[in-house]
Amino acid sequence: MTGDWFDEELHPELRQGLKIDRVLYQSGDGLQDLVVFENPRFGRVLCLDGVVQTTEGDEFVYHEMMTHVPILAHGRAQDVLIVGGGDGGMAREVLKHQAVRPVMVEIDPDVVEFSKQHLPSLSNGAFDDPRLELVIADGCTFMKETEKRFDVIIVDSTDPIGPGEVLFTAEFYADCKSRLKPGGVIVTQNGVPFVQPDEVTNSWRRLGRSFQDVHFYLAAVPTYQGGDMAFGWASDDASLRRQPVETIEARFEAAGIETRYYTPELHVASFALPKTVRDLLR
């Protein structure tokens, strides 16, 4: 941070500056450097190891698209696993589906604790919901050891640097496959293709070793700099991501949930990839 600006240096050739009105929390003595500050446009901003993780102003785009797309595509999801997601936004959206019993595996307890305190609007009570099972562990280790099986796995990790790196490996994806029930699907935070093209190509190859159908879907999250963000999608049933909008619409109505970004039409359209992204799937 320089003066009253936060400079994100995730990319060597590109910087993102966010004005700091007030620093609410800063700590460098845990597993990850944590900063929460207030920005005039995006509200409270959470950064880990110098990278923007989520903001009050645009988090709903990311959390709604990474939960309602796989859960409504699946249609009968009950057991959902969130890997990462320490701020609680993913759990908040998953818990909108009444039949779901989510497990959340987060490596850094500090992220959970200070998100409850400084970013309460993200979890919005999710951590107090009796349906949520919170496990503090490395998602990679958990995936190797758990006896549980899941309908949907959501990998809401940091970028492939630091503790998040293990969550982008072919080995981790193979372990995810072994923990999915038949008909299950995994979705992953997969970076911004325009500035992190290798993340898409790498996930395409690594997921492809364990799953028959690998694809991506897109949404624009303003503070994930560089254009549309990609979400990795993998299952053994290609029809899961090709359902007609009428099917998704009926499930969305039956779920009776409120959203700010997600719509059934957008769900279906988000799987349409521009050539720039399709060319990365090689």
**Catalytic positions, written as ranges:** 156
Minimum distance between the CB of residue 31 and ligand SAM, rounded to whole angstroms?
Answer: 7
Residue 83 in contact with ligand SAM, rule: CB under 6 A: yes
SS3 272: coil
Question: Which residue stretch of 80-88, 196-204, 206-214, 232-240 sits at the interface with ligand SAM (rule: CB under 6 A)?
Answer: 80-88
Residue 106 in contact with ligand SAM, rule: CB under 6 A: yes
Residue 279 CB contacts under 8 Å (≥ 6 apart), including other chains: none
DSSP symbol at 273: P
Residue 139 in contact with ligand SAM, rule: CB under 6 A: yes
Minimum distance between the CB of residue 212 and ligand SAM, rounded to whole angstroms?
Answer: 26
DSSP symbol at 281: -
Q: How far, in whole angstroms, is CA 179 from its chain's centroid? A: 18
Q: Which is nearer to ligand SAM, 165 or 213 (CB)?
A: 165
Torsion over CA of 67, 199, 158 and 44, rounded to 10 degrees? -70
Which residue blocks in 119-259 are alpha helix, DSSP H? 120-123, 139-145, 170-179, 197-208, 245-255
Residues 147, 44: Cα–Cα separation, whole Å = 37
Minimum distance between the CB of residue 39 and ligand SAM, rounded to whole angstroms?
Answer: 16
Question: Which residue stretch of 14-22, 161-169, 233-241, 266-274 sits at the interface with ligand SAM (rule: CB under 6 A)?
Answer: 161-169
Q: Which of 36, 71, 72, 111 binds ligand SAM (CB under 6 A)?
A: 111
Residues present in the chain in total: 282
DSSP symbol at 187: E
Residue 105 in contact with ligand SAM, rule: CB under 6 A: yes
**Residue 117, Cβ neighbours under 10 Å: how many?**
11
Residue 186 in contact with ligand SAM, rule: CB under 6 A: no
Structure tokens at 143: 């995936």
Q: Which residue type sits at 168? A: F
Q: Which of 135, 166, 245, 255 binds ligand SAM (CB under 6 A)?
A: 166
Residue numbers 204-233 binding ligand SAM by CB under 6 A? none
Give the residues lining the site for ligand SAM (CB under 6 A): 32, 48, 53-54, 62, 83-87, 105-108, 111, 138-140, 156-159, 163-164, 166-167, 189
